[in-house]
Structure formats: structure tokens, C-alpha cells
Amino acid sequence: MGCGASKVPPTVDEPCVASDTSHHNPSSQHKKTKSERTATSKKYLAPEDEEERDFIAEASKEPQSRTQPDVCTQIPLPPAQKPVIQQSAVASGAGNVQQVANKEKTSPARQQSQPAEVMVIPQPPVGSPPPMDIALKREAAGKPVLAEVAFTDHLGAYGSFRFRGAEAANYLQRHGLQPDALDDYSWTRTSADKVAAAVLEWARSKGATMSTHWFQPLGSAGIRRGQTGQVHNAMFNFGKGGELEWCFEAGDLLKGETDGSSYMNGGMRATHTAGGYTVLDPSSPMWVRGDTLFIPTLFVSYTGKALDEKTPLLRAMQAVSTAGVRLLKALGHTCKSVFPNIGLEQEFFLVPKKAFRTRTDLQLAGRTVMGRAAPRGQELSDHYMSPLNAAALRCMKEMQHECFKMGIPLKTRHREVAPNQYECAPFFGLATVQIDENLLVMELMEEIADKHNLVCLLAEKPFKGINGSGKHNNFSLGTEDGLNLFNGPQMTKVTGNDQAFPVVMAAVIKAVHAHGDLMRMSIASPGNDFRLGAMEAPPAIMSTYLGKSLTSYLEAFKRGEAVGAYVEKKSFVHMGLDSIAPFAVPAEDRNRTSP
């Protein structure tokens, strides 16, 4: 008989081998002891695949060898799906199990003599993704089964949970506003009531019943990554007759109040000035997640002092814009604003939740405090850009899916250098929006990893001896009409002045030289200083390297030579293969030389 027909069927975690009935002696069946079961398991198990097993918390069985007979896993059927199943082996060969549902009614006595009702699932060979096996086990245990996300099934919903652009235009027009009303930040003074009504209608259509002013409090940067502040309030109340009434007006949208004395504030304790105030940031779009409308805000004290990370950023951006507009006007181009565009590459580790729970130091400090190094690290450089682990891929796809719904362009996913290390990177955008989105991405990563029985580690250096997790910041300056101040040919074309580009570049280099200590301080934290200087990052110094072509051009410009417009120089790489065309590489450095 087959393996499922024994009087005492193996447990869920115990493999069994189906054999030909002509070579099987039923009388030899007996209840195995624990040591016998262990010996039987070891007989048919190949060397364990540590990485795959660790990534699937429920997969306690070790992978099977491709050269061994087919192995099956037995899972009790759910009560609602329990037909009487009779199992018999196919006489034509060992290792095949046939399931035959006995549709005939049987007497209670015969039912008692039937073997335990089980479902036989073939075990995949080593290297095969295990999601089906894990899904069945989770279902049998009464746990939710996580389906893999298919982006093509949700394309119509992507971007629709973010109140900006075409998604907002329809609702703004219904309330008498122009479709691009949000682009002019003066709406906070002139038409806040109408915008609030449009936001409420849109949020309700997305299933939201709560709203929160979402801010970034001071104090935890460098210690606890990605912290945000939020208080959720219902957008409805009840009238005198007990009927539900929606109430979300301009005041609810623009400003909120909370206790500011509980945040780092320089000793603000006077009762009459202890209030902290959240004020809407019109440069960053609102979004809906779950049942809540999130409103990006600043957080300031009663006297207007910053209690958050965003207020200093917006003040710095305004200072850059004022100086940039003035400079460009002197160079021959008129614009309304100059703003920083950034793209933040988020690196992180995914580790099995079961393993994480055994590490008190990771739980409390986010990094290794004591212990020994793993027997294998990144010496072979075989993790970077390699195929994504199946469990990590399912997790990262759900991360991207949730981001796409809220219009976050999380374009890239790949493995990083260290084992179990990964990266997701967005398309670049306005600095304040990118930072808001990055904080939301970090929050999503932690929550979604937990659903997949993983833990997302965001600390800069969680493990000694292997790479830490950086967050490369791709930076540029632009204008509202699309001019990139770091693009030499474009600067010359738009301004009509071949000196515009070298002047802007000289100003940037001067700023890095004069204020390098301030820039270094802005990225200094206990976690990041553990990381800097290792294999994955340069020494903890500020530097600027532009490549030989641009450096020689600026040196000649500094000497007063007539250099003319900067022309981007490219060199070509020839592969020595007739079938492969030569390709161009830029002369400028990628500038991975600063922390």
C-alpha cells in the first residue's frame, strides 16, 4: 500500500515514501518511535538548504534530494472538505500515489476501520519554490494564506489612492475648482473649504472614515528609523437624533493640535504654551491607506519653533529656491522656483521571524551586540544582483503593490551585497515628497514583512562583518519648467549663456567645501557611523569628484580660458565581438564617493 494507508499515518512534518504493493509487507507496519521516525527522515533527506528553509518559517522539513524517490507530505483535510479517501499505490512503479475518492456510503464500523483521512501532496525537488506547500500547511492550520500579488490585476487602481493630478481633478471640479488647483499652494488661504469638501468625497469613495495629520517628530532620527506621529480622528459624528453626520471641514484639513511638551523641545513646560500644532504641507499629496486619510503636515510649537524634521527641510528648500531664482535670472533665465529633486535607495535586511525572536539584541537594539559571525558571509560576492529568494520576492511584490496604489513609484527591486539584504528604489521626485514617501515605504516594509513571517531590519549596520544598509541619495536641482541645473548642454540651451553651467557647478562645489562639516553632521548617527568606512561605503569624509572631463573643464574656466559651452564627452567600449555593437559610457563620475 501507499504511504498514506498505514494504520498510524506520519505527522505533517514527517516525510514518507510511497512504494509498490508487490514489495510491501503490511504486517511490518507498527507505530514508530521518535528515534525510528528521525532515522527514517534522515535516510531520505538530502543536505539541508539553509537559506530557503530559514526564509519560510513554517517549512520545518528539510528539502529532498532529486535522486531520492518521490516524497509526499500528508495534511489532514479541513472538516468541510473530508470525503472518504481510499489510497492505493499504482502497481506500475514505486513512488506514485493515486487518490481514489470512495463515493459509496460505508457503515460506521467500516468507517472506523478506514485509515485516517489525509491528502497527499507531492514534495517539490530542491530548488523549486515552496509556496504551494506552505499555503496548504497554513490553510490546514487555520492560518490565512498569502496569495502572490500580480501587478497586472491591479493596474487600474495604481495611483488612485493618492489625491493629486487626474485622481483629484474630478473631485475638485465637482466643487467648483480648477483641476490643477492644488498646484498653486495659495489654495490653503483662498479655497480651503472647497478643497476639504472634495477631499472628503474622494476619501469616502476609497473607504476612509478616519483622518490623521501625519508628521515627523524630532528626537528619534538615527536611533529609531522611520518614526512618524499620527492621531486618527473620525470624519463623522452623530446628530441630536442619533443620525450619522459627516464632518470634515477646512479647519480639520489645515491644522491640528496636540500636546507638544512630550516631544523634544528644549524644555517647553509652561502649561499655557505646551501646545504642539500640525499644519498641512501643500507640497506633499494626501493619500488613503486602509480606513484612514493621511494628511502630511509640519509640527511646530506654540511659538512656531520646529518640533519635527520637515519644517527645517522646507525652510532650507525655500532658501535654496530664493537664491537659485536670483542666480538664474542673473544668468539669463527667469523661473518661479528652484527645488531639489532626490531619489532615495532603500536597503534593508529580511530575516525569518523565528530566528529574529531568538536574538534579543536585534529586538532591542536593531543590531548585533554580542555573538559570533556567521560561517559564511559575502566573500564570494554571490548575493548581489542574484535571483530573488522566492519568499523575499513575494514579500517585496506586496511592498511594491501597496506603494503603487498610493502613487509611490517604487520601480526597482533587487538583492544587495550581504546575505538576506535587499533594496527597493523609487523614481526621483521633489525632496519633501520623496522623504514622505520613503518614511511610508519603511513603515510598509516592516508591516508587510511581518505578514510573510519575516522581519525587516532597517538599522544601518545590523550585522558585523558584512555590509550595512545605506540609503543613497541621488540629488539634483531643477525648476518648474523642467530645467536640470546639473545638465550642462540643457543649461546652455535654455539660458543662452555658456557660462551658466560652470557658475552653478562652482557654487555647488564651494558649498560642499565650505559646509562639509554641516553635511557630515546631517548624516551622523550611531548606526550610520558603524557603517561608514566599510566595504559598502567610503570613509566618513565629504568629497566631490566630478570625473576628469568635467574637472579639467572647470579648471580651465577658473583660469579664465575661453572654454565655451560644456560638451558632454563620451567614450566607447568595444567588446571585440562582431555581434555586439560598441556602447557609450559617460565621462562624468557617478559620484558614489560621499557618504
244 and 291, same domain (yes or no):
yes
Write down the residue that cell numbers 469638501 correspond to.
197
42 and 85, same domain (yes or no):
yes
Q: Which pLDDT score is estimated for 536?
A: 58
**Nearest alpha-carbon partner for 297 in 215, 228, 229:** 215
291 and 162, same domain (yes or no):
yes
122 and 185, same domain (yes or no):
no
Across 350-376, average pLDDT: 88
User: Which residue range(s) make up the domain with 79?
Assistant: 3-140
Across 151-170, average pLDDT: 95
Does residue 528 fall inside a structural domain?
Answer: no
**Count of structural domains, the chain:** 2
161 and 297, same domain (yes or no):
yes
Cα–Cα distance, 423 to 46 (Å, whole number): 32
Q: What is the pTM of this model?
A: 0.74
Across 181-201, average pLDDT: 96
Cα–Cα distance, 179 to 202 (Å, whole number): 14
Cell of 383: 548575493
Res. 249 pLDDT band, cuts 50 70 90: very high
163 and 304, same domain (yes or no):
yes
- Which of the two residues, 165 and 220, has the higher pLDDT score? 165
**Is the model's pLDDT at 194 over the cut of 80?**
yes
Final residue of a structural domain among 76, 110, 140: 140
Final residue of a structural domain among 255, 281, 308: 308
Does residue 188 fall inside a structural domain?
Answer: yes
Res. 545 pLDDT band, cuts 50 70 90: confident
**Is the model's pLDDT at 529 over the cut of 80?**
no
Least confident among 170-179, 401-410, 465-474, 577-586: 465-474
Side chain identity at residue 364, one-letter code? L
- φ/ψ of 189, rounded to 5, equals -105, -25
Alpha helix stretches (DSSP H) within 294-377: 310-331, 353-356, 360-365
193 and 113, same domain (yes or no):
no
Does residue 129 fall inside a structural domain?
Answer: yes
Q: Which pLDDT score is estimated for 104?
A: 39
CB-based contact 129:112 (threshold 8 Å): no
Final residue of a structural domain among 275, 308, 341: 308
CATH number of the domain that residue 214 is part of: 3.10.20.70
**Is the model's pLDDT at 231 over the cut of 50?**
yes
Res. 589 pLDDT band, cuts 50 70 90: low
Give strand pairing partners of 363. Answer: none
The 10s digit of each residue's pLDDT in 206-225 is: 999 999 999 998 866 566 66
CB-based contact 342:434 (threshold 8 Å): yes
Q: Which pLDDT score is estimated for 275?
A: 84
- Which of the two residues, 268 and 586, has the higher pLDDT score? 586
Cα–Cα distance, 420 to 31 (Å, whole number): 41
Does residue 178 fall inside a structural domain?
Answer: yes
206 and 235, same domain (yes or no):
yes
Res. 473 pLDDT band, cuts 50 70 90: confident
Does residue 11 fall inside a structural domain?
Answer: yes
Distances (CA, A) of 544 to 365, 471, 536, 551, 566: 34, 18, 18, 10, 19
127 and 233, same domain (yes or no):
no
Q: What is the mean pLDDT of the chain?
A: 78
Burial category of 397 from C-beta neighbours within 10 Å (exposed 0-12, middle 13-18, buried 19 and up): middle
* Element of type H or E holding 212: strand 210-214
125 and 48, same domain (yes or no):
yes
Does residue 265 fall inside a structural domain?
Answer: yes
292 and 184, same domain (yes or no):
yes
Does residue 122 fall inside a structural domain?
Answer: yes
Alpha helix stretches (DSSP H) within 96-224: 108-113, 131-140, 166-174, 187-190, 192-205
Cell of 65: 534530494
85 and 193, same domain (yes or no):
no
Cell of 536: 559598502
Does residue 172 fall inside a structural domain?
Answer: yes
The 10s digit of each residue's pLDDT in 32-52 is: 454 554 444 433 333 334 444
**Is the model's pLDDT at 18 over the cut of 70?**
no
Report which listed range, 99-113, 248-262, 278-292, is most confident.
Answer: 278-292
